Amino acid sequence: MFINGAWISAESGREFPSYNPASGEIIGMVPDGEAIDAHKAIDAAAGAFPKWSSQTAYQRSQFLYRAHALMMEKLEHLAAVMTEEQGKPIQAARNEVRYAADFLIWYAEEAKRIYGQTIPSDRADQRFIVLRQPVGVVAAITPWNYPISMITRKVAPAMAAGCTIVLKPAEATPLCAKAVFEILEAAGIPEGVVNLVTAQTPGPIGELFLTDPRIRKLTFTGSTGVGKMLAREAAEQMKRVSLELGGHAPFIVCQDADPKRAATGLSLVKFLNTGQACISPNRVFVHEGAMDAFINELTRRVSAMKAGSGFDTGVRIGPLVNEAALDKVDRQVRDAVAKGAELVVGGRRMTEEGLDRGFFYAPTILRGVTPEMVIYREETFGPVAPIIAYNDADDLLAMANDTRYGLASYVYTNDLKTAFTLFEGLEFAIVGINDINPTSAAAPFGGMKESGLGREGGIQGLDDYLETKLGGFSI
C-alpha cells in the first residue's frame, strides 16, 4: 500500500493473492488492508491537504505533466501488467494505458482554467465574487474491468482541483493499481496527496470512508447495487458523491443503415474487453429489413474471434474475471434459450486447448430476444449479443428507453432526421451515432437514471471535486 509517500504492509501483516484469469495462476501478493490502514491513509491525505490545496494550479499541473510523461514511457510495462492481471488482449491494454494517460495531461492543462465569476449586483455598494475551491479529502473506489484508466479518471481531476485522495482499487486488480501509484510516486507528487489501500474485503473500508468526517467526497465506479448502498450511507454526513454505475446499452440498427457497417461496429464494441464494459451493448434492436444482412455479417465476424491469453497473437476474447461472472453469463444465455431465443453461435464455456484453466466463455449471438428474458433487463458483462427484431420505428424510443439504466447507447442510421430524433429522445447520457467509441478524456462520461450521478472527463469532470463559494462585498 502507498500511504504518505511510502510503500507499507498492512497493519495486520496479512496479504492476499492476485490471479491471472486466463490461467488461474497466482501472479503476486499484496497487503490486505483494513479500516485501520485506511485510517492511516486518511490521516495522510488530511495532513497533506492544506499545503497541496494552496499550491498554485501551475505548480499542481507540473506533477500531472510528469505523471503523464512517465505513464507513456512505461506504456508497455503497464499494458503487460494489465493483460496478465485483468486478461484483456495486449493491444486493448495499450489503448487503455493511453486513455489513462490522457486524463493526466488533460487535467494538467485544465487545472489552470478553474475560473470563478463576478456577478453584477443591484446594489451600487455591493460586489459578488464566486470562487471554486477544492472539496477536501476524497475517497475513491474503482473496479477491475478498466483497472488503470478508472484510477486516473479520478486521481487526475482530484489533484488538479487541489484535493488529496485515498483510493481503494478492486480486489481483482491490485497490481494494476500498484503500477499506477509507482508512477505517481516517481512523478514526485508530495507525500500524502495520493494514497493507495489494497484490500480483499471492501466493506469495512467503505464504511470508514462514509463515516470519517474528514472525507468530504466519495467517488465510486462499480455496480449499481453497491453504488446505491454507498449513496444512502453518504447522506448521513451529506458527503458529496459521484457514481459511475452499470449500464444496459441499446444498439439500434435502423432500416436505412448499412447493415454490414453496423455489424462491424457491434462486433467491435460488444466484444471489447469480452463484454466486460459498462458501455457494452446489451440489447441490439435491428430493423427487420436489415436483419439478414446484419446477422450474416455479425456471425461471420464473431465465429472468427479467437479466445485465449491476451498475450497471444490474434486473440480478441480474453477471460471473464472469475467463475461467478462465467456462471452469470451462462445463466442468462440458458434462460434466453429456454424462453425461445435462437442460439446463433457460442453459448458455452470454452474448455479446449487449455482454456479450461481460465474463465473463458465463447462469443455468443442470441436471436429473437424478448422482454421476458433476464438478459433483456440485467447487465450481462460478458460476450453475448442479444438481437431483437423491430418493425415499427415509432416504438423504437420507448423500447430502447425501457430500462432503469441510462449510460451509453448507439444508433446506426444514414438519415439526419432519425439521427437527431434518437439523439434527443434516448434517455442515455452517451449516444454514439454511427460511432462506437464516443469517449475521450476531453468529454463528459457518466450516466442518467440508475447509471449514476455526476460526470467524469471533460470540464464537467472537475465540477465534482470543487465547491462553489460566493463572496458578497460591501464597499
- Cell readout for 105 is 495531461
* Closest among 298, 274, 302, 261 to 436, alpha carbons compared: 261
Candidate ranges 174-182, 202-210, 346-354, 424-432; the one touching ligand NAP (CB under 6 A): 202-210
| Residue 19 binding ligand NAP, by CB under 6 A | no
Interface residue with ligand NAP, options 226, 269, 350, 441 (CB under 6 A):
226
What residues from 338 to 397 belong to the interface with ligand NAP (CB under 6 A)?
Answer: 379
Q: Give the list of residues 6+ apart from residue 300 with CB closer than 8 angstroms, or none.
A: none
Kindly tell me which residue out of 19, 107, 144, 361 binds ligand NAP, with binding defined by CB under 6 A: 144
Q: Which residue of 31, 157, 265, 447 would you call a contact of ligand NAP, by CB under 6 A?
A: 447
**145 contacts ligand NAP (rule: CB under 6 A):** yes
* CA–CA dist 32, 15 (Å, integer): 5
Distance CA(390)–CA(396), nearest Å, equals 8
Q: Does 170 bind ligand NAP (CB under 6 A)?
A: yes
Considering only 10, 245, 252, 254, the residue that binds ligand NAP (CB under 6 A) is: 245
Residue 272 interacts with ligand NAP (CB under 6 A)?
no
CA 283 to chain centroid, in Å, comes to 20
Site string for ligand NAP, 298-337 (x = CB under 6 A): ----------------------------------------
Cell numbers representing residue 196 in the block: 493507495
Site for ligand NAP (CB under 6 A): how many residues? 26
* Part in contact with ligand NAP (CB under 6 A); list of ranges 1-9, 76-84, 141-149, 435-443: 141-149
How many residues in total does the chain contain? 475
Q: Burial, 252: exposed, middle or buried (Cβ in 10 Å; 0-12, 13-18, 19+)?
A: buried
Q: Which of 372, 442, 379, 386 is nearest to 407 (CA)?
A: 379
Q: Rule CB under 6 A: is residue 206 a binding residue for ligand NAP?
A: yes
H helix intervals, 271-415: 288-303, 323-338, 393-401
Hey, which residues are catalytic here? 244, 278
Quick check: 171 binds ligand NAP (CB under 6 A)? yes
- Window 402 to 421, contacts with ligand NAP (CB under 6 A): 407
Instruction: Select the residue interacting with ligand NAP from 28, 202, 289, 444 (CB under 6 A).
Output: 202
Rounded least distance, CB 442 to ligand NAP, Å: 16
Q: Which of residues 41-80 bind ligand NAP (CB under 6 A)?
A: none
Other beta carbons less than 10 A from residue 301's beta carbon:
19
Per-residue cell: 251? 444498439
Query: Can you spell out the DSSP letters for 148-184?
Result: THHHHHHHHHHHHHT-EEEEE--TT-HHHHHHHHHHH
Angle between helices 203-211 and 224-234 (to 10 degrees): 30
The phi, psi pair for 343, rounded to 5°, reads -85, 105
Near ligand NAP by CB under 6 A: residue from 89, 174, 318, 452 = 452
By CB under 6 A, is residue 146 in contact with ligand NAP?
yes
- Scanning 112-120, 126-134, 158-166, 238-246 for contacts with ligand NAP by CB under 6 A, the matching segment is 238-246
Residues forming the site for ligand NAP (CB under 6 A): 141-146, 168, 170-172, 202-203, 206, 221-223, 226, 244-247, 278, 379, 407, 447, 452
